[in-house]
Structure 1
Amino acid sequence: MSGNWQPAYLQLGIEELQCRAEEALRHLESCDLCARGCHINRRLGTEGFCRTGPKLRVYSHGPHFGEERPLVGCRGSGTIFFSRCNLKCVFCQNWEISHRGEGCLVGPEELAAMMLALQGAGCHNINLVSPSHVVAQILGALPLAVEQGLKIPIAYNSGGYDSLAALQLLDGIVDIYLPDMKFADSRKAAPWLGVNDYAEVNRAALAEMYRQVGVLQCGPTGIARRGLLIRHLILPDNAAGTDELLRFVAGELSPDVHINLMDQYRPCYRADQYPPLDRRPTRAELCQARQWAKELGMRNLLG
C-alpha cells in the first residue's frame, strides 16, 4: 500500500461524514440500525431491545493488547467498549457489559474526545467493540473527532448481527471489519443467541463487509489498515457448524480472507444450562476445525 495512505473516512470529507450522521439520526426515528429492526423512535427513549436512546453507554476505553497481532502492533488497539448488545448470548464472556449494561452515558463530544485520546496514546486504530446498536451515535461523534485531527483507522468489532442499512451508512468510513461468525444454523442457534435468523443475517453482513473492504491489507510494519478479519469461536461438539461456516467463507467470499479460529471458549454466564456449551472443546475438536480450514485451502488462518 502506498506511503501516503489515509483512512477511508478522511477520503470522504467532513461534509459527507456530517450527511451520514444526519441520515443515521433519521434511521433512529424508526430504528433499523441493527438486524432486530425494532422500528421504535430511539430519539425519544430507550424502549428497544438494546435499551439505548439518543446517548450511548461506554463501559471503558483504552489501549488493548489482547486483539489479533495486526491490530495490536506495539502500541495497542484503541478499544471503546460499548454497553449493551443486540444479541443475548447465553455464553457471553462479558455479560455484565452486554446484558446488564454497566457503563456511563456518553454524548458525541465525549465519544469524540475518547477517540482522540486513544490516538494521542499512540494506538494504531479506533476499535469499536459491540457497535451494532450505536451506529448513529458513532457517526454523530466522528465528524467532531475528524475536525480535531483524528487520522487513524476505524475498526468495527461486532457480533456479526448487523443490518445492511447500518453497513451501507458505514461504507467508506470503516477501514477494518472484525465481525464474529458464530453459528451456521439459525434454528439451532436461536435459544443460545436470542434471535431466529442469525446465520442468514450474518452471511449477508459478511458479504457486504467484504464487498466494502476486501481482504485484510497491512502497512510496512504489519499493522492492519483495511480489510475484513473474521472471528470464529470453536465450540464443543461442533455446535457452531464450523465446517459449514468455513465452506461459506472459502466459497462465497475468498480463501484469502483472514479468519481467527479462536480456541478460548469456556462456559460463562448461563452456558452450564445449555449442553454441549457446558464444557470446553477438546484438543481434538480444535485440531479438527483447523484441519477443515486447511482442506478448504484457506491461506490466512490466525489464532
Structure 2
Amino acid sequence: MNQENLEILNSLKLDSDLNSWQKLYRCCQICPQNCRVNRLAGELGFCLTDKDLHIARAALHFYEEPPISGASGSGAIFFTGCNMSCVFCQNCAISTSRRRKNVNKLGKVFSQEEFLQTCFDLQDQGACNINLVTAGHQLATLIPCLENLKKAGLKIPLVYNSSSYENLEMIKKLDGLIDIYLPDIKFYRSDLAAKYLGCPDYPEVSFSVVREMYRQVGKLKFQKQPVTATSKAACHFPLLKKGLVLRILLMPGYLNDAKAVLSYAYTCFSDNIYISLMNQYTPIPQILRKYPELNRHVKTEEYEEFVNFALDLGVKHAFTQDESTQSDSFIPDFQMYNPDI
C-alpha cells in the first residue's frame, strides 16, 4: 500500500464510520491487484466494482462442510465481482472471469441497512451462520457493516469465505469480527497460478493470508448446541463456533501440486484446523478450447491417492467428497437478483 492508504488504514478503528473506510477507494489498493483507481469517482479496477455493496444472492446454502451448513443451511451472501480471473470459475456468471464490463449491473446494490436486515432475515430462517462469499474487493464498505451487525445483536457466527488472494493488512482489520474463516488455496506453484488464475504471486499471498486468518481464530471450537431455535446441526457434526476450514481443490492432472499445498498446510496448522479435500472440479464450456487439459473431471484414482496422501501425513480433521459432487448442480442459482443470467 502507498503511504497515504497505510495512514488511512492505520487510523481506522472498528467503530469508524462508512465514509472514513471508503476513503481507501480513492486510490484503491484493498486487494493485491493494487489498481489505484478512484472507485469513489466511479473508476473501475480489476474487480470492476464501485464503492457500493453488490450482492448476487442471499439465501440458505446447504453445500458447505457439515459443521458450517448444518442441517438448516448456511446463510450465504454471494458478492458480485472478483479480484481474480480463474479460467475454471464456476461462479463466472457473477464474477469477472469473462471480464464483463457491466458487472455493476449484476446483482443488487445493498445499503448498509438492507445488508443488516438480510443477515437477520437469514438468521430467522434457520441459518447456522452468515457466510460472506468472495467479499475481499468490497471490504472497505463491508467492514463497518459487519461491526454494526455485531452491535445489532447477530447471534450466529460470521464466516469469511475467501479465495485467499487478499490484502493482508485488510484481513488484519477483520480481527474480532470474523468467527470462522473458510479459505481455499488453489495452487502451490506460481507458474500454475499465473496460467490459470492470472496471479503469479497467488501462492505467496495466499499462505501469508491463511496464516493471519488462523492467528485470529485459533484452534477449532464447536457449539454445544445451535445458538438459535431455528438453526440445526447436521447429524454427527456439531456446528463450528470458531476456527478455520481450509479447502484444497484437486485439479485434473495436478495431483502433485495439491499434495504440496496439503503438506505445507499440515506443517503449518497440524490438526488445529479442518482440511477439506475436494474433488468437485467441474469443467465449464469457456475453457474447452484454450485449456483442453482441464476438460475432464478428477479421476477416482487421482482423488484416492490424494486422500491416502493425507492419511499418510497423519491428517485427522479432514472432509472428503464422493463423485456426486462433480456436477454443475452444485453451482448456485444466481437469478435471485439477476433474472437475465
**TM-score scaled to structure 2, two decimals?**
0.80
The 2-side partners of 1:240 and 1:174 are apart by 32
Given the alignment, which residue of 60, 85, 89 partners 1:88? 85
Match of 1:26 among 6, 23, 28: 23
Match of 2:150 in 1: 146
Distance 1:148 1:26, change over 3 A: same
Of 54, 59, 63, which residue of structure 2 is paired with 1:62? Answer: 59
For the residues of structure 2 that align with 1:98 and 1:253, how far apart are their CA atoms? Answer: 31
Corresponding position of 1:295? 312
Structure 2 unmatched runs, 5+: 1-11, 226-237, 321-341
Residue 9 of structure 1 aligns with which residue? none
Q: Structure 1 residue 169: deviation in Å? A: 0.9
Which of these residues, 239, 243, 246, is aligned with residue 227 of structure 1?
Answer: 243
| Whole-angstrom CA distance in 2 between matches of 1:173 and 1:46 | 29
1:286 aligns with 2:303: yes
Residue number in structure 2 paired with 1:4: none
Alignment partners' CA distance in 2, 1:240 and 1:268: 23
TM-superposed deviation, 1:290: 0.8
Moved more, 23-32 or 56-65: 23-32
- Cα deviation 1:202-258 (Å, max 9, x = unaligned): 111111111111232211241111111011111111267111101111112324321
1:127 is matched with which residue: 125, 131, 134?
131
Return 5+ residue gaps in structure 1 as ranges: 1-14
How many corresponding residue pairs? Answer: 289
Find the partner of 1:198 among 181, 197, 202.
Answer: 202
Look up the SS of the partner of 2:40 in the other structure.
coil
Say which is worse superposed, 118-127 or 101-110, in terms of deviation. 101-110
CA distance in 2, matches of 1:21, 1:175: 22
- Aligned residues of 1:78 and 1:125 also touching (Cα < 8 A): yes
**One of 153, 160, 163 as aligned partner of 1:159:** 163
| TM-score, length basis structure 1 | 0.89
Deviations 1:34-58 (A, max 9, x none): 1212222222224111111121211
Say if 2:146 and 2:177, in contact at 8 Å, map to a contact too.
no
Aligned AA for 2:83? N
Q: What's the % identity of the aligned pairs?
A: 37
Cα deviation code 1:249-298 (max 9, x no counterpart): 11123243211111111111423221321111100100111111111111
